């Protein structure tokens, strides 16, 4: 018969939680704080590394005024322009189809809503919120890059691009800012990355929608091929980084707030997703009018 070691196992009354010592509490809190600080440090390093890599890639592309991609872009633009139709009705139809929100941003936002309601798990919705936040950042960031990087004329505006403007397309379209990177591609492919993270099949459908919105812009001479690739890379990278290293605590608080105030939450969600579906077109219109208003006041 085994002898007792003299140490009695702790006895707990059924239904009563165990009483922790001060040392156990301190060590438990210490481990939590250590894990939190390690994760925070890892996130900071990841964002800094991604920022430096993205800045390096932008510098490589814009160095010597896009010399790195000029040859490939010229080849693609010339090839596309060679096969482009000379029928202005068809060209205008392609332009309108590529601008149709229902088949591009609208469809992808609908897929995001489907993902939200088809999987109510907290972790899935947290990742969805983090990814959609990155979609908004990609839309703003791509436009800031367009206006801050060296001016890159669009193929239809650059005489040395080898691209002949197509009949039926107004040559004055989008000639107020540079073409690199494509903000359409950045937003569309950021949405693709968000949806792909929830469902591969829906992600394939979203990819088709994104290509439907982005490729006509290469066909019409509104973007070089590298503009679309850079925009897509920007959007996908931001979503990946946000889901992997984003502010999860903030996303969980947003979820809790949405459960507490569902009316306000879904009202705000509708307004934000409507702007995303239409690529912030009304905001763009207001932004284009601000310089004229400032000039009226002599500013």
User: How does pLDDT run across 257-275, given as a tens digit for each residue?
Assistant: 989 999 999 999 999 999 9
Number of independent structural domains in the chain:
2
Residue 12 resides in a domain? no
What CATH number did the domain enclosing 84 receive? 1.20.144
Claim to verify: residue 292 and residue 161 sit in the same structural domain: yes
Residue 137 resides in a domain? yes
Separation of alpha carbons 180 and 178, rounded Å = 6
pLDDT exceeds 60 at position 33: no
Residue 169 resides in a domain? yes
Claim to verify: residue 55 and residue 73 sit in the same structural domain: no
Separation of alpha carbons 124 and 198, rounded Å = 8
The pTM assigned to this predicted structure is 0.81
Burial of 238 from C-beta contacts in 10 A (0-12 / 13-18 / 19+): buried
pLDDT tens figures, 142-164: 888 888 888 888 888 877 767 77
Claim to verify: residue 77 and residue 119 sit in the same structural domain: yes
Claim to verify: residue 42 and residue 118 sit in the same structural domain: no
Claim to verify: residue 114 and residue 215 sit in the same structural domain: yes
pLDDT exceeds 80 at position 50: no
Residue 255 resides in a domain? yes
Residue 279 resides in a domain? yes
Domain boundary among 14, 36, 63: 63
Give residue 206's pLDDT.
Answer: 95
Residue 118 resides in a domain? yes
Claim to verify: residue 33 and residue 107 sit in the same structural domain: no
Separation of alpha carbons 57 and 75, rounded Å = 21
pLDDT exceeds 70 at position 254: yes
Claim to verify: residue 148 and residue 274 sit in the same structural domain: yes
39: confidence class by pLDDT, cuts 50, 70, 90: low
Claim to verify: residue 48 and residue 161 sit in the same structural domain: no
Which residue did the predictor score with more confidence, 130 or 48?
130
Claim to verify: residue 102 and residue 29 sit in the same structural domain: no
Phi/psi of residue 107, nearest 5 degrees: -65, -45
Claim to verify: residue 147 and residue 54 sit in the same structural domain: no
Residue 51 resides in a domain? yes
Dihedral, 163, 168, 174, 178 alpha carbons, nearest 10: -10
pLDDT tens figures, 223-242: 889 899 999 999 999 999 99
Give residue 86's pLDDT.
Answer: 76
Domain of 154 in residue numbering reads as 69-296
Tokens of residue 50, six digits:
């991604």
Give residue 1's pLDDT.
Answer: 46
Per-residue HEC secondary structure of the chain comes to CCCCCCCCCCCCCCCCCCCCCHHHHHHHHHHHHHHHHHHHHHHHHHHHHHHHHHHHHHHHHHCCCCHHHHHHHHHHHHHHHHHCCCCHHHHHHHHHHHCCHHHCHHHHHHHHHHHHHHCCCHHHHHHHHHHHHHHHHHHHHHHHHHHHCCCCCCCCCCCCCCCCCCCCCCCCCCCCCCCCCCHHHHHHHHHHHHHHCCCHHHHHHHHHHHHHHHHHHHHCCCCCHHHHHHHHHHHHHHHHHHHHHCCHHHHHHHHHHHHHCHHHHHHHHHHHHHHHHCCCHHHHHHHHHHHHHHHHCCC
């Amino acid at each position: 018969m085994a002898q007792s070691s003299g140490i009695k196992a702790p006895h707990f009354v059924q239904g009563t939680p165990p009483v922790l010592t001060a040392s156990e509490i301190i060590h438990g809190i210490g481990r939590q704080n250590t894990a939190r600080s390690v994760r925070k440090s890892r996130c900071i390093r990841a964002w800094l590394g991604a920022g430096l890599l993205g800045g390096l890639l932008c510098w490589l592309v814009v160095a010597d005024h896009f010399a790195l991609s000029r040859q490939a872009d010229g080849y693609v633009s010339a090839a596309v322009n060679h096969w482009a139709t000379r029928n202005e009705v068809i060209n205008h139809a392609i332009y309108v189809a590529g601008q149709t929100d229902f088949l591009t941003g609208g469809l992808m936002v609908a897929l995001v809503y489907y993902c939200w309601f088809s999987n109510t798990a907290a972790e899935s919705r947290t990742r969805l919120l983090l990814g959609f936040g990155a979609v908004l950042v990609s839309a703003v960031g791509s436009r800031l890059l367009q206006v801050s990087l060296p001016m890159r004329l669009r193929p239809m505006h650059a005489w040395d691009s080898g691209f002949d403007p197509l009949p039926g397309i107004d040559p004055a379209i989008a000639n107020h800012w540079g073409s690199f990177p494509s903000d359409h591609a950045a937003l569309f492919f950021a949405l693709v990355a968000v949806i792909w993270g929830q469902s591969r099949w829906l992600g394939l459908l979203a990819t088709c929608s994104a290509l439907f919105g982005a490729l006509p812009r290469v066909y019409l001479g509104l973007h070089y091929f590298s503009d679309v690739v850079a925009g897509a890379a920007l959007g996908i990278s931001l979503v990946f980084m946000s889901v992997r290293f984003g502010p999860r605590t903030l996303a969980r608080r947003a979820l809790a707030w949405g459960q507490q105030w569902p009316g306000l939450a879904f009202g705000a969600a509708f307004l934000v997703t409507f702007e995303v579906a239409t690529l912030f077109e009304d905001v763009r219109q207001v932004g284009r009018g601000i310089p004229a208003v400032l000039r009226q006041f002599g500013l």
